[in-house]
Amino acid sequence: MEWVDRKVLQQLAEDIGPDMLPVVIAVFIEEVGEQLSQLRPLYEQGEWEALARVAHSMKSSCGSYGAMPSYQQVMALEMASKQADVAEAERQLQLLEASLPQVLAFLADYH
């Protein structure tokens, strides 16, 4: 599976300049990694509004960096959280917990 769309990263590099790409990728890895660590506790505490808010924030980040599987999962997690759909939120959270570390590892090695 392609965790990251390389065309999106290439476009991002063209937009911001290749020298800035490693900087913004490092920020993405740190911020999204921190957000990922917040999801499970929010889910377990039933903090649906906060969970939806974090998922919403992650959605645009994942899309901007071409992490399309994670983007789809975090979008579905946001919707499930807004509906307090426990089963769907759990399913999407599990998928995201599997995909996003792959994205972060890929981006950490991306040059």
Domain that includes residue 42, residue range: 6-109
Distance CA 23, CA 31 (A): 12
63 falls within a domain = yes
3-class SS at 88?
helix
92 falls within a domain = yes
Q: What is the pLDDT of residues 63-103, one digit of tens each?
A: 999 999 999 999 999 999 999 999 999 999 999 999 999 99
1 falls within a domain = no
CATH for 61? 1.20.120.160
pLDDT attached to residue 46:
96
15 falls within a domain = yes
Look at the chain and report how many structural domains it folds into.
1
**CA nearest neighbour of 103 among 20, 1, 23:** 1
pLDDT attached to residue 42:
98
CA quadruple 55, 61, 67, 69: dihedral, nearest 10? 20
56 falls within a domain = yes
Per-residue pLDDT band for 1 (boundaries 50, 70, 90) equals confident
40 falls within a domain = yes
Q: What is the pLDDT of residues 36-71, one digit of tens each?
A: 999 999 999 999 999 999 999 999 999 999 999 999
